[in-house]
Amino acid sequence: MDDIMKEQMRELEESHLRPDVRTSVEKLDELLADDFLEFGSSGYLIRKEDCLTGDLAVDDLFLSNFEARMLAPDIILTTYIIRNETKDRNTLRSSIWKHMDGRWQLYFHQGTVTPLDPSWSIR
């Protein structure tokens, strides 16, 4: 995967952390695949409709240790750490992005609370 594609994927990941996206049904609807599924750090199963009808937390989130791996021409796996300043915790994150309908859409996401510091490297 080239650096331009990796940066594009990082921008997509960071976009759904922003309050303006997390509070916009239209932006979330465009970003999330229709069959989006998340294994939340809360321990709950979350689907697209839950994101569109529920109130997503708007916390101070900072992404680090970003990696992206091409699994197929239209599928990318991203991994990273999120530092949640609001909740004073770190989570390991992974996402599967699929290129559908002419754009990258978030297909699967998982967050796992971790005692690891964001300076720890996933590599």
Say how far residue 54 (Cα) sits from the centre of its chain. 17
Q: What is the pLDDT of residue 100?
A: 96
Mean model confidence pLDDT for the chain: 92
Helix (H) or strand (E) holding 78: strand 75-84
91-98, long-range: CB < 8 A, 24+ apart: 91/41, 92/116, 92/122, 93/13, 95/13, 96/71, 97/9, 97/12, 98/33, 98/74
**pLDDT digits 0-9 by tens, 29-44:** 999 999 999 999 889 9
pLDDT at 118 over 90: no
The whole-number average pLDDT for the span 56-82 is 93
List the domain boundaries for the chain. 3-114
Tokens found for residue 90: 């770190």
CATH classification (class only), 3-114: alpha beta
Q: What's this model's pTM, rounded to 2 decimal places?
A: 0.90
Whether 108 has a pLDDT exceeding 80, the answer reads yes
